[in-house]
Amino acid sequence: MAKPLFTAPTRRERGFEAAAGLVKDSLRLAGEKRGFALSRLLTQWEEIVGADLARITRPVKMGYAQGGFGGTLVVLVNGAHAPMVEMQKDRLRERVNACYGYNAVSRVSFTQTSADGFAEGQAEFAPAPRKKPAPDPEVVAKAAETAAPVQDEGLRAALEVLARNVLSRAKT
């Protein structure tokens, strides 16, 4: 009998694999335990509901009634923002249903939390601020030297900032 032209590679023969492929099944199972059939709802929350709502909310759980249509999405929200988010409940439900492609969510409920309160409910809603590296002293001196002949103080300060940005920009 002739050998087949192509055989499926074994695990050791495939070479490098993307990390996402290795943890995909584990993440899917963890998401399904919380009721999220689509992990996209968790990973792309900001794109789904918008930056303004994503900054102050997080999806926590998706619950389904037995034999019923549509589920309940539980969203974690900081207590101070809860009334504002409550008014946008319909918009939030429409966007999540658009992500699923059908009316998966019929009800949205909110769990309020304090930013410094209970250990289990704590959530950091805003991303950490980016730290700007300290400017190089040579660049600062060169920028000041470049803008020195300008008489107007405001214009000179603006030109110094511009020169500092241009001089510290990465060369491509």
> Which amino acid belongs to residue 123?
A
CATH class of 21-113: alpha beta
Own/partner pairs, 63-70, CB within 8 angstroms, 24+ separation? 63/35, 64/35, 69/103, 69/106, 70/103, 70/104, 70/105, 70/106, 70/107
Per-block mean pLDDT, blocks of 10 residues, the chain (172 long): 64 65 68 61 84 85 72 85 91 88 85 61 58 83 92 93 86 62
Ordered by start, the domain boundaries in the chain are 21-113, 137-168
pLDDT score for 118: 45
Q: Which pLDDT score, from 0 to 100, does residue 141 have?
A: 93
Say what the pTM is. 0.50
